[in-house]
Amino acid sequence: MNYQDLSKIHVQVSDMFRWPETQSQWDQYRLTSDQINSYKEFGYVHDVKFLSDEQVDFLNEELIGLVDPMHPGNALFHEYNSNESHDPNVILFHALGAWRITPGFHDILWNPAFVMAASQLLGNQAVRFWHDQLFYKPALHGGVVAWHQDYSYWTRTIPMHHLTCWIGLDDATINNGCLYYVPHSHRWGLLDKPDLAGDMNGLMQYLSEEQKAGFKPVPIELKKGYGTFHHPLLVHGSYENRSEKMRRACVLNVFADGTLSDTDKVLMDGAIAIPKGREMGGQFHPLLFDPDLAGV
């Protein structure tokens, strides 16, 4: 069965979000100076409102279908792991490419609250899409996401002017495996990358004694519909879900317009190779927001 590939459409396909038309309409989505300073100092800013309860419910309905390996659009995922941990006793669903398949996960890329704040954190530059991720930890036996830095998996794109946005589709708590950040770790430089769903502490072997002394993770508990932005070098991870409540999240990864490919190989399965040295763009890396074009 052929399934429409929404990556070919670089505008919203639903009425999920209203795109602002004036500067004053955009201003409601701006981060404050305190939030921007927090990002610079600690490597992250949290408790940002992205979605209404109704929008969260809509996305979770789509996610129910996408978790099923038999969903007719699942062949469009760049990566699909019904359990990336490979241990049936601890489940971590992780997939890349949902924006190609369903209207909600497509249109969340054009969420004004997301693109406005992302542009600010990238130095008021135009924002281009890198890739999305879905994470699902079921109740009682959800697996870990090991300590890591996002850019350690992204070095095939340069320079490092990337940004991650994590959005909770359930209330995220310590009990159900919320995100943890290690403040100030974005200043540690690039570290070797561990297996994302492997040993929680696999990264520790790459840390200096000084870094180990500064390794003081902070839990980021959030209500559904709220989320965070974090620096591409910030060390983060999440523990198991042993609670009776599931923990679902959507992650949006972006970079500043002008970022270059640093490989001649295909960057993601099913995508189109971008020659080394050429600016990232095309079908799979659309321009999401340009403050100059938006008049802000």
Does residue 19 belong to any structural domain of this protein? no
Helix axes 112-121, 33-42, angle to 10 degrees: 60
Whether 27 maps to a domain, the answer reads: no
**CA of 230: how far to CAs of 118, 216, 237, in Å?**
10, 16, 12
Q: What is the number of residues in the chain?
A: 296
Say if 2 falls within a structural domain.
no
Per-residue pLDDT of the chain (296 residues; tens, 9 = 90+): 568 999 999 999 999 999 999 999 999 999 999 999 999 999 999 999 999 999 999 999 999 999 999 999 999 999 999 999 888 889 999 999 999 999 999 999 999 999 999 999 999 999 999 999 999 999 999 999 999 999 999 999 999 999 999 999 999 999 999 999 999 999 999 999 888 888 899 999 999 999 999 999 999 999 999 999 999 999 999 999 999 999 999 999 999 999 999 999 999 999 999 999 999 999 999 999 999 988 88
Tokens of 279: 């600016």
Amino acid at 89: N
The residues facing 256 across adjacent strands are 127
Q: What is the CATH number of the domain that holds 191?
A: 2.60.120.620
**Per-residue confidence (pLDDT) for residue 89, from 0 to 100:** 86
State the pairing for strand pair 260-261/93-96: unpaired
What's the pLDDT tens digit per position in 73-112? 999 999 999 999 888 889 999 999 999 999 999 999 999 9
Q: What is the pLDDT of residues 194-221, one digit of tens each?
A: 888 888 999 999 999 999 999 999 999 9
Q: Residues of 146-175 as b/e, b for ≥16 C-beta within 10 angstroms? A: bbbbbbbebebbbeebbbbbbbbbbbbbee
Question: Parallel, antiparallel, or unpaired for β 44-49 and 260-261?
Answer: unpaired
Contact 157, 118 (CB under 8 A): no
Q: Print the domain residue range for 49.
A: 40-294
Give me the number of domains the chain comprises: 1
Q: Is the Cβ–Cβ distance between 43 and 181 less than 8 Å?
A: yes
Examine residue 31 and state whether it is found in any structural domain, yes or no.
no
Q: Provide the pLDDT for residue 3.
A: 85
Quote the pLDDT of residue 86: 80
CA distances from 191 to 138, 150, 180 (A): 30, 10, 18
Domain assignment present for 10: no
Place of tokens 């999401």: 288
Q: How far apart are CA 123 and CA 198, in angstroms?
A: 34
In the structure encoding, which two tokens stand for residue 116, read together?
């406005």
Residue 28 placed within a domain = no
In a domain, 12, yes or no: no
Q: What is the pLDDT of residue 198?
A: 81
Q: Closest Cα partner for 89 from 137, 147, 133, 134?
A: 137
**Coil, strand, or helix at residue 227?**
strand
Answer whether residue 32 is part of any domain.
no
- Where residue 154 falls (left for φ over 0; alpha for ψ -120 to 50; beta otherwise) is alpha
